[in-house]
Amino acid sequence: MPRSSLAGSRVCRYNPDGLATQTSHFRVEAIDFLRGFAVLGILAINITGFWGPSLATFSPTIPRWEPGGEAWFGVAFVLFEGKMRALFSLLFGASMVLFAEAAERSGANPDAAQLRRLMWLALFGYLHFALLWWGDILFTYALCGMAALALRQLAPFQLMAIALPFYVLAQTMSAFVALPGIFAEQAVLAGNAASTDIAEQAGMMVRIGQSVSDDIAILQAGFFEAIRLKLTQSALHPLNVVLSTFTETVPLMLIGMAALRSGFFSNWSRRSLAWLAVGGIASGALPTILALQWLAAHDWPPRAMFAAIEHGMAVPHLLMAAGYAAALVLVFPWAKDSGLGRALAAAGRCAFTNYLGTSMLMCAIFCGWGLGLGPEVPRAWLPGFVLLGWAAMLAWPQWWLARFAQGPMEGFWRKLALPTRG
């Protein structure tokens, strides 16, 4: 079990400049290590959105069925889809606590500094959407982070008591709301549906076709034309993403805050971490695999696909993300001095730069203003581009951090949030 807060206070009281400092440094390093894993894993999902229309991330048959596409989709669905987003959200919440502590040490008001930090992140996120890619998550994190900030000072138990029931209830309700549509879709596909359900399904397919057409036009456009199309057709898209993911993202951030303050990244016993790692991954993977089998057996019905990825698998996502986090914290003491461990931690320390840099790299490969390979590359080849992106994210951060305290965007963002006092 995690060590009690009383035990933690005894460490700080008896050896404030020794073990307490080492523990604080250890948890920061562990979070960097986990964040490196998460930012690499996010590319495994985002790669499909760089390559093709946004709805391609929901189905291996959009925009078209291709040999080998289902295999890659299945691997990504089980191992990465939703899990990396959940893990990254947990870590973002934890980083908010770490930033508040750093702001206090510098003499700044932690809440005011955090608010500045999030406002700048919202600007970066919208520019990321407008200039590069529709799938930005920074804008969502900025606005959801402002909501989480209001609860920052609650005790870990209070944070969990609010976040976990809210998350489970909200996601479960959304899944149940989607069930009638899934049943109606199955009736349409079986040929025994009511005329109204047939008409509604046909309308949805028309909307899917229009969305794919609009996205492909942006993907194949020149740089400035792509910006114009996005701002004229979907200028409010980042805000819509916030509204659709708010009930997922905010609770996950609060859970991340609670995890940091409960000592998860530094003080939990190996036994507790092992139980959470095995239990979380196994209990989350089983329903995910069963859902994948059902979806594949029913030829990837679009309404069911949307429901599964948007809300239906949210609880398994969280279970697997928690299991991944526990497993990574468990192995970190042995991995941190290895070549891969150092590379992952450095990549995580430069995650903001890596996230934006990956968008630049993949857009330059797939978009019309770059190499324009989106229409040319088969879906089954996407794992190769994931490996390319992973190599890029791991290659440069150690060299950079040997010369500078933070990654380029991390340092710039921090200066905006914590300006130097005159």
Q: Which residues contact 272 (CB under 8 A, 6 or more apart)?
A: 1, 2
pLDDT on residue 45: 95
Say if 345 falls within a structural domain.
yes
Q: How far apart (Å, rounded) are the C-alpha atoms in residues 153 and 100? A: 10
Torsional class of 143: left (φ above 0), alpha (ψ -120 to 50), beta (otherwise): alpha
- Give the chain's length: 422
Q: Establish how many alpha carbons lie within 13 A of residue 221's alpha carbon, considering only the half-sphere containing its beta carbon.
A: 18
Q: How far apart (Å, rounded) are the C-alpha atoms in residues 107 and 109? A: 7
Say if 141 falls within a structural domain.
yes
pLDDT on residue 160: 97
Say if 29 falls within a structural domain.
yes
pLDDT on residue 312: 86
pLDDT on residue 106: 85
Q: Which residues of the chain have pLDDT under 50?
A: 1-20, 422
Domain range for 181 is: 5-417
Q: Which two tokens stand for residue 342?
A: 């150092």
Say if 229 falls within a structural domain.
yes
One-character DSSP codes across 9-68: HHHHHH-TTTHHHHHHHHHHHHHHHHHHHHHHHHHHHHHHHHHS-GGGGG-TTSS---TT
Q: How many separate domains does the chain show? A: 1
Phi and psi at 80, nearest 5°, equal -120, -40
Say if 92 falls within a structural domain.
yes
Helix crossing, 19-51 with 69-79: angle to 10°?
150
Q: Establish how many alpha carbons lie within 13 A of residue 341's alpha carbon, considering only the half-sphere containing its beta carbon.
A: 13
Q: How far apart (Å, rounded) are the C-alpha atoms in residues 82 and 277? A: 17
Say if 394 falls within a structural domain.
yes
The model's pLDDT over 235-292, given as tens digits with 9 standing for 90+, comes to 999 999 999 999 999 999 999 999 999 999 999 999 999 999 999 999 999 999 999 9
The model's pLDDT over 351-394, given as tens digits with 9 standing for 90+, comes to 999 999 999 999 999 999 999 999 999 999 999 999 999 999 99
Say if 422 falls within a structural domain.
no
Say if 272 falls within a structural domain.
yes
Q: Taking the CB of residue 347, how many other CB atoms lie within 10 A of it? A: 28
pLDDT on residue 180: 94
Q: Which residues contact 410 (CB under 8 A, 6 or more apart)?
A: 349, 350, 351, 352, 353
